[in-house]
């Protein structure tokens, strides 16, 4: 059964019981995994309660996968790269889950980029699971439930989880905060690009890889890699035990993809030896808890009729300069009973 057939089954069957979901996910059944992800993405209160019970039941089966965040400049070929990398990993015997976080339609909340069509080989392979997740307006373009989806995929036996960002705003920071290694993809022609790249994205990078290092582009790709190395030398890495490497590769031909994966594994091993890996995972869990707490507060504001009636007036007063933001925040907090 391919991913397209799984997508049809998501909506065709009634909501399974908690026991059926737990057993189905643990057994690695993709149709049941898709149903479980749909459940955790739901905003319905009853679904949230069931989703929490599901995640708690599956918690012992999570945390074993290699988690890689992937971002890049527009046109860099993120999906092509993921298709090539995922295919390489499948050949090595891995099971690969891809969480491709799409910008949402502002009217329907649905995914609009169609990542499955851009990852042709992975989407047709039964050992892979490709899940475009609409961001539904979440800050930075990162789907609110991407972290929970990642846990479900791990519980289903996927030992590599690749999370693709939309590459805008604060989505890079959010994905870096939920993965073990953050891979930043760049294009040849670094001289022009460095002028327009925010320093922050390179500061987040654990690995920088220059795509399209093939044919006539190869010399330009190598030159770009040299400029990125110089930039990273000035910025320094975000971890004391790791200096981010700069590689060249071709998503089109697959040349250099193996080297990219080798660096992911080396970064993971160095982090373990330095004692940073477990500490990072623990910190991410706590940060995740508070992110969900903030989401609950915002959800209550959307659902409570009193808050829906009062908050817009407070926002207008702040926007017009009639009310200080600090006092506005205090009034919203009072409405929440805080």
* pLDDT tens digits for range 180-220: 999 999 988 755 555 455 567 788 899 999 999 999 999 99
Phi, psi of 68 (to 5 degrees): -125, 125
Whole-number pLDDT of residue 145: 79
DSSP H helical segments within 59-182, as ranges? 78-91, 115-118, 120-123, 146-155, 171-176
- Identify the pLDDT of residue 102: 57
Whole-number pLDDT of residue 140: 38
pLDDT class of 144 with cuts at 50, 70, 90:
low
Q: How many CA atoms lie within 13 A of 153 on its CB side?
A: 25
Alpha helices (H) in the chain, listed in sequence order: 3-12, 18-26, 30-41, 45-58, 78-91, 115-118, 120-123, 146-155, 171-176, 190-196, 199-204, 218-235, 257-273, 276-303, 305-319, 325-336
pLDDT for res 198: 57
pLDDT given at position 211: 94
CB 221 within 8 A of CB 256: no
Q: Cα-Cα-Cα-Cα dihedral of 167, 154, 60, 290, to 10°? A: 10
- Answer with the residue of higher pLDDT: 173 or 57: 57
Q: Quick one: pLDDT at residue 109? A: 44
Above 90 in pLDDT, residue 239? no
- If you average pLDDT over each of 78-87, 95-104, 329-338, which comes out highest? 78-87
CA separation (Å) from 16 to 31, 103, 214?
Answer: 11, 29, 49
- 328: Cβ contacts below 8 Å, ≥ 6 apart: 314, 315, 317, 318
Q: Given a cut of 80, is residue 314 above it in pLDDT?
A: yes
What gap in Å lies between CA 65 and CA 179, rounded to an integer?
10
Quote the pLDDT of residue 5: 53
User: Tell me, what's the pLDDT at 117?
Assistant: 56
Token pair of 302, please? 């959307």
Q: What is the mean pLDDT of residues 306-319?
A: 92
| Residue in 100, 259, 119, 220 with CA at minimum distance from that of residue 167 | 100
CA distance 21 to 104: 27
Of 93-107, 126-140, 173-187, least confident by mean pLDDT is 126-140
pLDDT greater at residue 58 or residue 232: 58
Range of lowest pLDDT (7-11, 62-66, 144-148, 166-170): 7-11
**Confidence check: pLDDT of 277 > 70:** yes
Adjacent-strand bridge partners of 247: 209
| C-alpha 225 chain-centroid distance | 25
Q: What is the dihedral of CA 231, 233, 214, 261, to 10 degrees?
A: -130
- Residue 240 CB coordination number (10 Å): 9
Burial of 38-54, coded b for 16+ CB within 10 Å and e otherwise, reads: bbbbeeeeeeeebbeeb
Handedness of CA 176, 295, 105, 99 (dihedral sign): positive
Average pLDDT on 88-101 reads: 92
Cα 122 to Cα 143: distance, rounded to the nearest angstrom: 21
Report residue 246's pLDDT band, with 50, 70 and 90 as the boundaries: very high
Residue 215, token pair as written in the block:
């044919």
- Token output for 185: 């993809």
pLDDT at position 302, please? 79
pTM for the predicted model, two decimal places: 0.85
The whole-chain average pLDDT of the chain stands at 84
| C-alpha–C-alpha distance, residues 155 and 152, integer Å | 5
* Rounded (5°) CA angle 187-193-198: 115
Q: For residue 93, is pLDDT > 80?
A: yes
Q: How confident is the model at residue 336 (pLDDT cuts 50, 70, 90)?
A: confident
Does residue 291 or residue 218 have the better pLDDT?
A: 218
User: Mean pLDDT throughout 8-12?
Assistant: 48
Of residues 308 and 268, more confidence is placed in 268
Confidence category of residue 70, pLDDT binned at 50, 70, 90:
very high
End-to-end CA distance of the chain: 50
63: Cβ contacts below 8 Å, ≥ 6 apart: 154, 281
């Amino acid at each position: 059964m391919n991913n397209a057939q799984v997508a049809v089954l998501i909506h065709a069957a009634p909501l399974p019981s908690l026991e059926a979901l737990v057993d189905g996910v643990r057994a690695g059944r993709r149709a049941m995994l898709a149903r479980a992800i749909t459940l955790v993405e739901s905003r319905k209160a009853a679904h949230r309660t069931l989703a929490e019970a599901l995640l708690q039941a599956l918690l012992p089966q999570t945390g074993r996968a290699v988690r890689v965040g992937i971002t890049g400049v527009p046109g860099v070929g993120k999906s092509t790269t993921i298709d090539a990398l995922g295919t390489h990993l499948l050949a090595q015997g891995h099971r690969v889950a891809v969480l491709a976080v799409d910008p949402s339609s502002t009217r329907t909340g649905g995914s609009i980029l169609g990542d499955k069509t851009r990852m042709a080989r992975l989407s047709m392979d039964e050992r892979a699971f490709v899940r475009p997740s609409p961001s539904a307006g979440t800050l930075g373009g990162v789907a609110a439930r991407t972290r929970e989806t990642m846990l479900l995929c791990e519980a289903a036996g996927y030992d590599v989880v690749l999370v693709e960002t939309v590459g805008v705003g604060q989505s890079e920071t959010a994905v870096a905060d939920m993965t073990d290694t953050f891979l930043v993809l760049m294009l040849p022609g670094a001289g022009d690009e460095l002028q327009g790249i925010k320093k922050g994205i390179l500061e987040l990078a654990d690995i920088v890889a220059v795509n399209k290092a093939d044919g006539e582009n190869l010399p330009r790709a190598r030159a770009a890699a040299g400029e990125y190395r110089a930039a990273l030398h000035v910025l320094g890495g975000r971890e004391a035990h790791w200096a981010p490497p700069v590689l060249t590769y071709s998503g089109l031909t697959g040349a250099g993809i193996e080297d990219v994966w080798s660096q992911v594994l080396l970064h993971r091993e160095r982090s373990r030896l330095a004692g940073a890996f477990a500490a990072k995972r623990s910190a991410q869990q706590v940060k995740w808890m508070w992110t969900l707490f903030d989401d609950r507060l915002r959800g209550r504001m959307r659902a409570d009729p009193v808050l829906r009636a009062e908050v817009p007036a407070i926002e207008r007063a702040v926007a017009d300069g009639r009310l200080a933001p600090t006092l506005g925040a205090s009034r919203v907090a009072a409405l929440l009973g805080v």
